[in-house]
Copies of this chain bind each other. A is one copy, B any other.
Amino acid sequence: MNANHEDELQTLREALQHRLDQLLPAGEQQDLVYSAMREGTLASGKRVRPLLLVLAARDLGCDIEQPGLLDLACAVEMVHAASLMLDDMPCMDNAQLRRGRPTIHRQYGENVTILAAVALLSRAFGVVAEAQSLSPACKAEAVAELSTAVGLQGLVQGQYLDLNESGEARSAETILLTNELKTSRLFDATLQMAAIVANASPQARQRLRCFAQDLGQAFQLMDDLADGLNGTGKDINKDSGKATLVAMLGADAVHQRLHDHLRSADEHLSCACDRGASTRRFMHAWFDKQMALFSQNRISSLPEC
């Protein structure tokens, strides 16, 4: 990863942070729900999804300065933040730590957490519907993509499968489906939104769907490999007693699968975006960094996806 690439990512992250700050509403008063929304969204995160959206749009020929692009990227990050807040709840994963801090419900209580997540989700759809300088047709299509990624064919179903398969024997097939629903579907919506803004061809959009599929599986495998290690900013050994591919196949086989998914992702991406390689460079830099941390057994700075 060269310095220019890292500088550019940092500039983009700052632009995202600034725009997220602007887009989070003030409400009738600055109360606990308002604070929980901000804490859940603005606290440090690697912004993988919004960065992917912007970089993929550029690779597809879009002007990166188009303000609507940043708005869509912020909407995806709001959805991601809301899903983490709810997944951490006592009646879900009962997590204590997230990004190195107490989870939102531990800071603000369960009712405020639910309300903040609902407000974030509905704000995300509103941000897409009012995104700057995008045509109404783009906005409507982007709302539909986001809706599919969140609902019963996406994050919701993934979390339900994850909850109900915990601690039980489950097949590799079920694990792959859960990973797809929990992770690939929101990557898919993210990349489809980039394609919508860039007015990409149906062929490119289909390739991006396949890319999202591989990328989501790779991310989830990386997450499973990281479980049990300190310094992830999350609870450790959260998957203990739960059937994961690591428990089922061993770490080496999972590393191999991860490698295969990344190679396949690479091929799909090359076919979808022939104008550049910002997305590919970003993805490889991210995974290379994680791999290096694993191999050096220096996990203390492993970032959250």
Q: Which of B26, B123, B181 contacts A28 (CB 8 A)?
A: B181
Say yes or no: is A55 at the interface (Cβ < 8 Å to chain B): no
Say yes or no: is A128 at the interface (Cβ < 8 Å to chain B): yes
List, in ascending order, chain B residues with CB within 8 A of A187's CB.
none
Contact (Cβ within 8 A) B115 A114: no
Once bound together, how far apart are the Cα atoms of A121 and B181, in whole Å? 18
List, in ascending order, chain B residues with CB within 8 A of A155's CB.
118
Once bound together, how far apart are the Cα atoms of A136 and B140, in whole Å? 6
Extra inter-chain contacts (6) besides given A25-B151, A135-B136, CB under 8 Å: A91-B109, A91-B114, A118-B150, A122-B147, A122-B150, A125-B125
Contact (Cβ within 8 A) A111 B91: yes
Once bound together, how far apart are the Cα atoms of A118 and B160, in whole Å? 12
List, in ascending order, chain B residues with CB within 8 A of A114's CB.
86, 89, 91-92, 114
Say yes or no: is A143 at the interface (Cβ < 8 Å to chain B): yes
Contact (Cβ within 8 A) A157 B122: no
Q: Which residue of B lies closest to A113 (CB)?
A: B91
Nearest chain B CB to A30 CB, angstrom units? 10
Contact (Cβ within 8 A) B126 A151: yes
Contact (Cβ within 8 A) B152 A129: no
Contact (Cβ within 8 A) B160 A32: yes
List, in ascending order, chain B residues with CB within 8 A of A141's CB.
129
Q: Is the interface of A mostly helix, strand, loop or mixed?
A: helix
Once bound together, how far apart are the Cα atoms of A147 and B125, in whole Å? 7
List, in ascending order, chain B residues with CB within 8 A of A159's CB.
115
Contact (Cβ within 8 A) A160 B92: no
List, in ascending order, chain B residues with CB within 8 A of A122's CB.
121, 125, 146-147, 150-151, 156
Q: Which of B111, B147, B150 contacts A129 (CB 8 A)?
A: B147
Contact (Cβ within 8 A) A128 B143: yes
A and B contact pairs by CB, cutoff 8 A, 13 listed: A25-B151, A25-B153, A27-B152, A37-B152, A118-B155, A122-B125, A123-B147, A123-B151, A123-B152, A125-B143, A126-B148, A126-B151, A129-B140
Nearest chain B CB to A295 CB, angstrom units? 36
Q: Which of A91, A109, A150 gathers the greatest number of chain B CB atoms within 10 Å? A: A91
Q: Which residue of B lies closest to A141 (CB)?
A: B129
Contact (Cβ within 8 A) B125 A156: no
Once bound together, how far apart are the Cα atoms of A250 and B213, in whole Å? 61
Say yes or no: is A137 at the interface (Cβ < 8 Å to chain B): yes
List, in ascending order, chain B residues with CB within 8 A of A156's CB.
33, 115-116, 118-119, 122
List, in ascending order, chain B residues with CB within 8 A of A92's CB.
111, 114
